[in-house]
Structures are given as C-alpha cells and as structure tokens.
Amino acid sequence: MDTSPLCFSILLVLCIFIQSSALGQSLKPEPFGRRAQAVETNKTLHEMKTRFLLFGETNQGCQIRINHPDTLEECGFNSSLPLVMIIHGWSESVQFSRSHVHLIGYSLGAHVSGFAGSSIGGTHKIGRITGLDAAGPLFEGSSPSNRLSPDDANFVDAIHTFTREHMGLSVGIKQPIGHYDFYPNGGSFQPGCHFLELYRHIAQHGFNAITQTIKCSHERSVHLFIDSLLHAGTQSMAYLCGDMNSFSQGLCLSCKKGRCNTLGYHVRQEPRSKSKRLFLVTRAQSPFKVYHYQFKIQFINQTETPIQTTFTMSLLGTKEKMQKIPITLGKGIASNKTYSFLITLDVDIGELIMIKFKWENSAVWANVWNTVQTIIPWSTGPRHSGLVLKTIRVKAGETQQRMTFCSENTDDLLLRPTQEKIFVKCEIKSKTSKRKIR
C-alpha cells in the first residue's frame, strides 16, 4: 500500500474535545461570523487548548482552528483524498490514573469508546464510558466483546433515544449495554422529532430541516447529556422499570435500593453485575427535565355498564398551579377498579395541596342516560348517572412524597357529568377520613 503524502492527508488529533457540550450550542454547521462571535463571547467560560494539526503534501503540521472553516483551505485540505485520523493516548510516565478518564461516544463512537476501553492492557480499567444512542445496525444482539459493554470501564452508562425499528433495523441499539441504561420517553422516539414538526425545523434550520428532522431523535441523546451540564441544579430523574407501558401507568416511581438515578454527566456511579434499565419522560426542548407523578383513583360506577368518558385535573401547589390536564382512563370506567396513571409537569409546582377533578363529558350524555332510565322503569340501576370518587392517591417521583386527597364536600361524593369537585389533603385512618386543609 502506497503511504506517500500524495495519497492521503493525515489529521493528528492531540485531544478529543466536544466543544458543543461545553458551550451548549447546536451540532450543526453555522455561518462563520455568528459562530466565531459565539465562541468569542464564551471565551471566558472555557479556554480551549486542543490542537488539531493537518499533515499533507504541502505542510508539516498546519493547525486547524475550531469554528474557523477557512483554516481548512489555508492548510490545503483536499476532500478528494483519503483521510487518516490519529488519536493519541497518554504516557504512563505522566502518572495519570486511568480511573480519571471519561470517554463519551455518540452513535458508532460509543462502540469505538468501548473498543478503546477493552483494548487497554493492565489491571486497571478506564474510569467511565458514556454511550450516546450507540449504533444499532451490526451491533444489536452481538456479543459483549463486539460492542460497548459494562466490561469496558469501571462504569458504563448509556442513553437510548432512537431505537424504533425500520425494516428490522434501528439507528440506535435497543439492548442494554451498560451498568445503567436510560430510555427517555421509552427510547424508541423523542418528542418534537416527528415529521409533523418539519415546519418548525424549517424555521430553525432552513434547507437543513429534513436532515435535522431525520436525525433529531438520534441526536437527542447528545443534547440530553449537554442539558445535564447546563442545568446541574435540575437533573432529570429516571426510574427502574420493566417497560415503558408500566412506566406510563406510574408504577415505577421508586428510589428504594438504587431504583432511580440521574441522567447525564452527574449520574450516580454504581457498577453492578446486571444492567439496569431506567425510564423517564422529557420535554421536547431544553431544559428537558419534567416532574413525574403517579395518580391512583378508585371509582364506584353506579351503572352496570362501563362509562366512556374523559376527565381533567387542575393541580395547585405551593409554588405554581397547573390548569386542566387531560386524563383518559382506558376503554371505560368500571366499578371498584383502581386506575393508576402517570402525570408529568414541565414546572416545579412545589408541594401539591389541592386537586380539582372534573368530568368533561357534555350534559347531553347525562340527559340521554336519564331519559333511557325513565323509559325503562324496571331498570334496577339509579336514575341519575354518576361516579363515586372518594380519594385520590398521589406519589411524587422526584421527592418520593406520598399524599392522599379526599373530597372537600364529604356529604356529596357523587361526581356527575360536567361537574368539578375539589380534593384536599387528608389522612386515612381505620377506613375513616380525617381532612387536613393546608
């Protein structure tokens, strides 16, 4: 093989550095003037000492400057020639501990980081590897030695954001590959990345909108990790769960025995023999954090037929209030059945102190039901449709606080169509309710 300078350019990378993670900026190319100005503005935040040197036929180490694409031309970069990238390591004489090394790999780079970790000899592993939506094709289902795995570092965490399959393949790997594997919004697809969002992407990215829409979910893993650095005080919490369906029912909001962890840079590093799959919901844009709540409601349906209906809840907290959150409970409300569901809030409302629960069906439904019962006098059911709702139980995922809410009007527990009832904090003791209004 001819290795003369005429055949290829050599890019000597003295260090790997993801400048967008430090500055919280987009990964897409931007016009030189605006990008350079942004870097200049943030110069005091981070003085970059990374050097990228290009070796070719006409130069012996020309420096390429980040965010200055004109330096590629100045250094004589020829895109028609093969490119060899040489990434240096470190000298053992420096006495640098491998446990201080943190490799972050995106897509295929996640597996490359794994290979780097597994190939290091000696008794000590590198400290941490983070896989950001590690590539799926050719790696899904492969043995640990052929992909990123928990054996590649002292601690391995992975974020899965685009595991939806197309023709049997997914862009991101679906199987667990770390000590902690995070699946935001189930991991298959991400909010704000649907093709229905194309018009919004056109406004933001212009002609690059289609490309941005296609890679939106895959690249979301990078932005989630960056978000954990930019908003260190409001970390996104994830919870151990079997699947997203169970999580959507609010059944997995437990932090006992390490069942929850923070997503991103500040993850609690606990190497375990078995991978843990954690789920969470996020917003469509930064800051991505939401607040998770489990609601458990038991109805007494006074009819023999399940009632098809929808509800809304308004929540009042010590900090904020949320108005009319829509709720749909399966195919119909059956009697003496407990319904559990997940509610997420974009803002911290503080401690929940009051719930307004409303039956949103129109009065037409109630009139039809009452008319039918009048026409059929032998009906054994009640003449007025309604649901008895005694208590609402709530668990806050982020604070792990459990609360019970009872109807403010204990003399009338019947909830009718279009009616709204107020529930306040109470304590349940020996099947009796003692209300505490706060």
The annotation places the binding site at 147, 152
How many C-beta neighbours within 10 Å does residue 194 have? 13
Among residues 9, 21, 107, 228, which one is catalytic?
A: 107
**Number of C-beta neighbours around residue 4 at 10 A:** 7
Residue 418 in contact with residue 411, Cβ under 8 Å?
Answer: no
Q: Choose, from 9, 133, 201, 223, the residue flagged as catalytic.
A: 133
22: its two tokens: 């430090």
State the first-to-last Cα distance of the chain, in angstroms, to the nearest integer. Answer: 80
Q: In sequence order, what DSSP letters do the residues of 175-192 get, joined into one string?
A: S--SSEEEEETTSS--TT
- Is 133 a known active-site residue? yes
Residue among 218, 221, 292, 385 flagged as catalytic: 218
What whole-number distance in Å separates Cα of residue 155 and Cα of residue 325? 39
Select from 224, 325, 347, 336 the least CA-distant residue to 284.
224
The dihedrals phi and psi of 228, each to the nearest 5 degrees, come to: -70, -25
| C-alpha dihedral, 66 to 70 to 75 to 79, nearest 10° | 90
User: Is 243 labeled as catalytic in the residue annotation?
Assistant: no
How many Å apart are CA 217 and CA 265, to the nearest integer? 19
Residue 123 backbone dihedrals phi, psi, to 5 degrees: -90, -15
| Residue 199 tokens, joined | 């018009």
- Which residues line the annotated binding site for Ca(2+)? 147, 152
Is 145 labeled as catalytic in the residue annotation? no
Active site residues: 107, 133, 218
